[in-house]
Amino acid sequence: MQVLSAGSAPADSINPAVVQVMDELVLDLSREYPKPLTTEAIESSDVVITMGCGDACPIFPGKRYLDWQLDGPAGKPVEEVRPIRDEIDRRVQVLLAELEPATA
């Protein structure tokens, strides 16, 4: 399984509060940077998760789209970013359980 992250209008750098809350989970984002959402990325995906990008995200037939209506972390302090992180994690865990092949 491969996971990509991209944005329809990526910022110049990752929000420092996001870097901090992910570091709390021992996920180092210090060398990462926001990436633009490309047509190629969507075409190669089986599942596309959006967070309110609306018309900015291209739609391709045969793809599964999930629009997770979540507050973005922009301008929020770490204390408000943690619950966003935790909700994304919860939803990802549910999706992974759904996508993983059943074991006998």
Summarised one tens digit per residue, pLDDT across range 28-74 is 998 999 999 888 888 889 899 988 776 677 788 888 989 999 988 99
**Which residues, 6+ apart, have CB-to-CB distance to 42 below 8 Å?**
48, 57, 58, 60, 63
Predicted confidence band at 85 (pLDDT cuts at 50, 70, 90)? very high
Nearest partner of 2 among 72, 96, 67, judged by Cα: 96
- Cα 27–30–34 angle (5° rounding)? 100
Q: What would the CATH number be for the domain defined by 16-99? A: 3.40.50.2300
- d(CA 88, CA 59) in angstroms, rounded, equals 22
DSSP tag of 75: T
- Per-residue pLDDT for 104 more than 60? no
Nearest partner of 16 among 2, 42, 34, judged by Cα: 34
Residues 3-32 pLDDT 10s = 888 888 889 999 999 999 999 999 999 899
The model carries a pTM of 0.84
Nearest partner of 18 among 77, 95, 102, 104, judged by Cα: 77
Nearest partner of 20 among 72, 78, 85, judged by Cα: 78
**Per-residue pLDDT at 83:** 97
**Per-residue pLDDT at 102:** 58
